[in-house]
């Protein structure tokens, strides 16, 4: 386990050394969203019975921030290692594919959870209640960060340049997160877009995480958990396959 623990420590220290950029900046961005949207939309009434729009928005922003930063952590680390050439120092040691993937995945989850905790902390004064179902909340926080962390490993392996990784973020990650019910309940959408939202796995992450706070959601939390868990297993299997085969790593 020494190689795995060393790589994990390296990945944790890597993002924590620049925590002002990797943790504080996303928290500030989420706070800006909260201030603007809560001010504009709070007069439009309750989204769920007894839940103001201000409170409704907070879990969505927290989950969105966790997902985006979990993805950014693993993808940016891998692309930097590939471009600078130090990826060879990770491929030469006798690390298994599982250890290689596990270190990047866990570090991504830790960064996602750190950002999510920061968002909840700075927005706590906006009326967010204590979690009604804390186990559901934690389950979706871990699984959601894991899904995007695994996707970040895939993107980091696939991308050969920073602009390719930026395209991955702009044309896949951003649309999936912004069209997932962060700022609205999908029950208020037209039928076509409501059904389309059910094809977005990020929607289930946010909806399930929101259920952990309010005990109310657009879909049953068990269904949401099944979709997120299946997405995690699928993406993790793909990432492990790419690592084992050295795809775009052993050039």
Q: What is the pLDDT of residues 56-95, one digit of tens each?
A: 889 999 999 999 999 999 999 999 999 998 888 888 888 9
Q: What is the mean pLDDT of the chain?
A: 91
For residue 181, pLDDT over 70 is answered with: yes
Residue 43 has pLDDT above 70, yes or no: no
Does residue 45 belong to any structural domain of this protein?
yes
Domain boundaries, position 158? 21-245
Residue 175 covered by a domain: yes
Is residue 11 one of the residues assigned to a domain?
no
**Tell me, what's the pLDDT at 46?**
65
Number of domains in the chain: 1
* pTM for the structure as a whole: 0.93
Confidence tier at 179 by pLDDT (50, 70, 90)? confident
What's the pLDDT at 1?
Answer: 83
Residue 208 has pLDDT above 90, yes or no: yes
For residue 40, pLDDT over 80 is answered with no
Does residue 184 sit within a domain? yes
Q: Is the model's pLDDT at 41 over the cut of 80?
A: no
Residue pair 80/238 in contact (Cβ under 8 Å)? The answer is no
pLDDT-derived band at 128, boundaries 50, 70, 90: confident
Confidence of residue 9 (pLDDT cuts 50, 70, 90): very high
Split at pLDDT 50, 70, 90, the class of 206 is very high
Does residue 1 sit within a domain?
A: no
Q: Domain for residue 3, yes or no?
A: no
Q: Is residue 2 part of a domain?
A: no
pLDDT at residue 149 above 90?
yes
Residue 51 has pLDDT above 90, yes or no: no
pLDDT at 125: 83
183-203: per-residue pLDDT in tens?
Answer: 888 887 888 888 888 999 999
pLDDT tens digit sequence for 224-236 = 999 999 999 999 9
Instruction: Tell me whether residue 37 is in a domain.
Output: yes
What is the model's pLDDT at position 44?
61
Looking at the chain, the whole-number percentage of residues with pLDDT higher than 90 is: 65
């Amino acid at each position: 386990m020494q190689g795995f623990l060393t790589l994990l420590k390296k990945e944790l220290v890597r993002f924590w050394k620049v925590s002002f950029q990797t943790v504080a900046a996303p928290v500030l961005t989420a706070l800006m969203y909260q201030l603007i949207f809560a001010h504009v939309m709070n007069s439009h009434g309750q989204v769920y019975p007894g839940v103001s729009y201000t409170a409704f928005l907070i879990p969505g922003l927290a989950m969105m921030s966790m997902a985006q930063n979990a993805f950014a952590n693993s993808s940016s680390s891998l692309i930097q290692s590939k471009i600078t050439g130090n990826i060879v120092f990770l491929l030469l040691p006798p690390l298994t594919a599982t250890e290689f993937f596990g270190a990047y995945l866990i570090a991504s989850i830790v960064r996602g959870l750190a950002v999510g905790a920061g968002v909840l902390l700075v927005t706590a004064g906006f009326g967010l209640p204590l979690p009604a179902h804390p186990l559901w909340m934690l389950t979706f926080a871990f699984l959601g960060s894991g899904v995007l962390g695994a996707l970040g490993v895939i993107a980091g392996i696939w991308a050969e340049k920073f602009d390719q990784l930026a395209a991955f973020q702009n044309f896949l990650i951003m649309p999936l997160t912004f069209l997932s019910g962060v700022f609205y309940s999908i029950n208020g959408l037209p039928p076509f877009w409501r059904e389309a939202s059910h094809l977005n796995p990020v929607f289930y992450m946010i909806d399930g995480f929101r259920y952990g706070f309010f005990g109310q959601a657009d879909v049953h939390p068990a269904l949401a958990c099944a979709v997120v868990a299946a997405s995690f297993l699928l993406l993790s299997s793909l990432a492990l396959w790419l690592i084992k085969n050295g795809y775009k790593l052993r050039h």
